[in-house]
Amino acid sequence: MYESQLSLLKYSVDKIFFEVNDEYDYSKTKEIKLNQDLNKTINKIDENTFKTTLNFKIYGTDKIPVPFTLSISISGVFRLEEWESEKNNRIAEQNTVAILFPFLRSLIATVTSNCSVPPYVMPVINVNAFISKNK
């Protein structure tokens, strides 16, 4: 088949924090605006193994209140021969985010749909643009 050199060894949900904003007034707005932050980190385990973490937050400000605060962190431990080499580093960055992102999206939708707030389905992202912006 078309087996990849990259393999996911372990997936984990590292953190979930959810808090309802009881003071949020749904009647004052037609469209809920969410302040969001998504970032990634890659940490070396050894020459062939590394951990990619995606962190996502929804948070409010004084100017833009939100119905809830949410913070989720997920990680995957991956194996790729010589992942830090110029040739493989791009594969390591882009493919691991692409592999983990559907897990993150699903978890966000599940948490919000089960917490007495309107469910939030995170839009898909352009992984290449995300990587370029978050170097």
Residue 37: what pLDDT? 93
Q: What CATH number does domain 7-133 carry, 3.40.50.880, 3.40.50.12660, 2.40.40.20, 3.10.420.10? A: 3.10.420.10
Residue 126: what pLDDT? 87
Residue 1: what pLDDT? 66
For the chain, what are the domain ranges? 7-133
In this prediction, residues 23-32 reach a mean pLDDT of 81
* 57-108 pLDDT, tens digit each: 999 888 888 899 999 999 999 999 999 998 899 889 999 999 999 999 999 9
C-alpha 22/C-alpha 70 separation (Å) is: 14
Strand partners, 35: 59
Instruction: Report pTM.
Output: 0.89
Residue 45: what pLDDT? 96
Q: What is the dihedral of CA 2, 74, 55, 123, to 10 degrees?
A: 60
